[in-house]
Each structure stands twice: as C-alpha cells, then as structure tokens.
Amino acid sequence: MDRDQKFFDMYSLVIGALAIAALGIFVLAMKISDRTQEVFTRDGAEYQAAVAARIRPVGEVYLPGEETTAAAPTAETVSEPEPVAAALSGPQVYNSACLACHGAGIGGAPVLGNADAWAPRIAQGIEVLKDHAIKGYQGSAGYMPAKGGRTDLSDEEVANAVDYMVTESQ
C-alpha cells in the first residue's frame, strides 16, 4: 500500500510535469508563429503586390512628361492576328481534289499530261479554264463539277491547280 501510494504520487507528478511542458510548448509555438508566420506572409513581395493590385485606384493621372506605369497594351498583350493559312499549291490541290478524275480521264475529264486533249482547252485561255474549274463546266465530253466538288478550296487554290495541270499538259 505504501509503495502503491508512492508510485501514484510519482506518476501524477510526472504526468503533471509533462502536461505543463506540453502546454508550455504549445503556447510558445503559438507565440512564435504569431510573430513570424503571418508577418512573413504579409511582408512577402507577392502578397504585397496582390494587395497593391486589389486596392489600386481605378483611374490614374499622368502629368505630361511623367513616365506611365500602367499596363498600356504592348506587343505581348495585344494578341497577334491569327495567321491565315497559306493557300495550297497546285500539285497539292491537284493530288487531293482533281487527280481522281483527271488522273485517269473519268467521265471524259482531260487526262493530266495528255497534250492533245489539253491543247484545244488551253487555246481558250487560262482565265477561261480557271473560271470553268472554279464555277463548274458542262462540256461536250462530260461534267466538270465546281472546284472538282471540293467547295472548301479557295478560288486561288483551284486556280493554282489549273496552272499546274496546264503546265504539265503542254
């Protein structure tokens, strides 16, 4: 009984001391973080800049000769116009849109490289050929659909293909 009491006293003492120590550390940690953590955050350049941006006045006054600090549109902020896709070249258009008929002479189409078939057509003049290719053409040999059916092609691209077909067929 005596020893138990002694043990109990000792035990309580140790537990009490530990509890007080833990509390002390906790309070100390709170105090230190109070004085450091937040201050560091508030002093941080990023935080300061964010605050400055939030409380920035809506308008700013510049006196003549004063340097402007506001973000005037610069080369970086002005978006570049979308680059216009370059027109396809004659061979590119021919291979994707004209070859199907003009490669083998489907439906009466004059075959690429056949000078005899092309000579009377070329004699009409390149502008007429381009016009027929762009708008479509019903001839005695067959029907040439407008742009070869590829309405997604630009007039310029179809004209490129006609130039290519004519140079290849002389």
**Residues near ligand HEC, by CB under 6 A:** 93, 97-98, 100-102, 106-110, 121, 124, 128-129, 132-133, 137, 139-145, 147-150, 158, 161-162
How many angstroms separate the CA atoms of 35 and 45, rounded?
A: 18
Min dist. Cβ of residue 116 to ligand HEC (A): 13
Nearer to ligand HEC, 23 or 100 (CB): 100
Question: Cα separations (Å) of 6 from 12, 16, 151?
Answer: 10, 15, 102
Nearer to ligand HEC, 62 or 89 (CB): 89
- Tokens for 73? 């549109």
How many angstroms separate the CA atoms of 66 and 83, rounded?
A: 37
Min dist. Cβ of residue 158 to ligand HEC (A): 5
Min dist. Cβ of residue 153 to ligand HEC (A): 6
CA 43 from chain centre, in angstroms, equals 37
How many angstroms separate the CA atoms of 41 and 46, rounded?
A: 9
Min dist. Cβ of residue 86 to ligand HEC (A): 17
Q: At 80, is the secondary structure helix, strand, or coil?
A: coil
Residue nearest to ligand HEC (CB): 139
CA 5 from chain centre, in angstroms, equals 79
Nearer to ligand HEC, 38 or 156 (CB): 156
Min dist. Cβ of residue 91 to ligand HEC (A): 11
Nearer to ligand HEC, 48 or 124 (CB): 124
Nearer to ligand HEC, 37 or 114 (CB): 114
How many angstroms separate the CA atoms of 134 and 158, rounded?
A: 6
- Tokens for 76? 């970086």
